[in-house]
Amino acid sequence: MNQPKIEQLRQSGFDTGHAEFAERMVRALRDGLSALEALPRDDEFWRGWANECVTIHKLHDYAGEQLVRDPANRVARWALVALALAYGANDGGLSLLGPEVATDPAVVADALVIADWVAQEIGFDLTPELREVFGWADRQALEELARTDDGQAARTALRVLDGSSFAA
């Protein structure tokens, strides 16, 4: 059950021109599944499930719980982003990236990939969501990043923060 969803995620990444990012999301799913697999079967999480098999569905619940317990849990956060992309969530998990952008402004590039992926797959313009996520960033750090050769994503983020549309 997990492998078909992983392959679908890969294919969507390829179809949208984001194959490398899709591979990162596949790794995020696998990391999340590994964390769930390592969870002792006598842990409270397993109560109420029909079995103790690790599945994508259980990963969603597990990662969500882990992120509530520890908002800095990157494995849980990125597993949820990957699941959102895999299942065609309207925002592709973009809403989860604010804390990541706050600690590392380079994550704005990932946010832009997600927005482009969603635009291609679903047709939604995520400019308002991007503006909210980019609002977590230290503006000065974004401006410094924008002045570098690799700063295209930061320059786009600044334009979105200043009122431009991502879709334009």
Say if CB 100 and CB 91 are below 8 A apart: no
| pLDDT for res 167 | 78
Instruction: Tally Cβ neighbours within 10 Å of residue 17.
Output: 13
pLDDT (tens digit per residue) in 74-91: 999 999 999 999 998 899
Say if CB 84 and CB 121 are below 8 A apart: no
Tell me what the mean pLDDT of segment 133-146 comes to: 95
Q: What value does the mean pLDDT of the chain take?
A: 94
pLDDT (tens digit per residue) in 89-122: 899 999 999 999 999 988 999 999 999 999 999 9
| pLDDT for res 10 | 94
Distance of CA 121 to the CA centre of its chain: 15
Say if CB 28 and CB 79 are below 8 A apart: yes
pTM above 0.85, yes or no: yes
Burial per residue of 23-61, b for 16 or more beta-carbon CB atoms within 10 angstroms, e otherwise: ebbbebbebbbebbeebeeeeebeeeeeeeebbbebbbe
Closest listed residue to residue 58, CA positions, set 67, 45, 42 = 45
What residue type is 117 in one-letter code?
Answer: W
Cα distance between residue 117 and residue 143, in whole Å: 25
| pLDDT for res 1 | 55
The string of DSSP codes covering 45-58 is GGTT-S-----HHH
Classify 101 as helix, strand or coil: helix
